[in-house]
Structure 1
Amino acid sequence: MTTQTSTATAKRPTAQIYFPASVKNAGGNARPQSTSQTGSKALEPFEATILEHQALKERDDFELIDLTLAGEKAAFEILVKRYSGSMYALAYRMLHDPDDAADICQDVFLKAYEALESFRKKSSFYTWLYRIGTNSCINHIRKNQAQHHIEFASYHAFKEADTLETLYKTELQEVVNDAIERLPEKQKATVMLRVCEGMSHREVSHILKCSVGTAKANYFHAIRNLRRFMKNYIAANEDDADVIPSSLLRIGNVAPPSMSLGMF
């Protein structure tokens, strides 16, 4: 059955983010409906006028969430536009595939929309969204572990002191790539969030749903494992020995390719 809207539904464009059609409840307010109830045929793009966007842009996240739950579809469009770039960048850095990153980005916002009523505002929407995104990437990696390979185009080395040194050696880069690829999913995610996103241990703990102590432990073990995985290279290249053992390699420094969102 085709859902009726006030405007004609256009053919789905490439990289369009789609969400479930709003369903009127008994009180007349629109509510997000899960795909298990609507099915894929009920998915339709959000449509918002320029005036609606301009009026909503100044709202904070919590206000936009309340408006979405009250049936204001344009409010969630603002949240998508506000965080789609960050979500796509996170997915690209973890998967290093633009198509997979775009798929994950769509999936993250769809999951967030469907679960919006369960968001209790105990953390920021940003943190809640990053949790969904990180878990989606981890699950994707697990499903594709045999074929998955991350290539990191460039990186920076952070010494434990205040000195920032940049490494551009192709051979070393390959060693680093292989070492990071061997990290367990949670350690890899922790390094991504700490180094690429600049998050604190507390923020990482919220996203990965673990204690601050566990987040710190994951980070510690990740760095220790990276040093262990690279010890043979370090032993064979004494010139780099003073840099690598005390360094945390910055992952995915190059900006991901842009993703076009058809609704904006």
Structure 2
Amino acid sequence: MDARSPLSDASDGILASRAADGDPAAFEALMRRYGPMLRAYAVKVLGSNDEADDVVQESFINAWNHVAELADVTVVRSWLMRLVSNKAIERLRRRKYHRDIADWDAPGPARNTPERQVEASMQMRALSDALGRLPAEQRECWVLKEVGGLAYADIAEELDLPVSTVRGLLSRARRALLKDMEEWR
């Protein structure tokens, strides 16, 4: 069906009535009109593009098979949403029954072990101490660049310094921190 087809401007009621009479072009116009919205809804519910496509396709097949039973042809949109919602919920229910116990007891990532957490805490304390030993201007430049993610020009403007001074302060701060944090490499 061409996007400029007369059916693309027809009301939902007319399209649903024609689809109920067996007109595939009218049903295709409904699919084009509501397909993207239904797919977006299914993705939100399921969290999966592949499953969303399947749910929308199954819903349209179901709609084609039952459009003649639709009592009020003016509520096509909400009827299609309900079909997609029911199919998506059905998928979610099926998912729950197929989970393996190993999914629930999966080991945590190595970075979350107690030893690694203590090490990271000690490393952050050492960095904090090393930053405390820097001159104030170097520390401010380093924090604005490395923590704040500011550009050199923005740091210069914030601290009312020339860009060349900011580059020098950052260079000295990085050298001092590398030296102080050598044992943590």
Identify, as 1 or 2, the structure richer in helix: 2
Q: TM-score, normalised by structure 2?
A: 0.50
Q: Which has the larger radius of gyration?
A: 2
**Would you tell me which structure has more strand in proportion to its own residues?**
1
TM-score, structure 1 as length reference: 0.35
Q: Identify the structure with bigger relative contact order (alpha carbons < 8 Å, sequence gap 6+).
A: 1
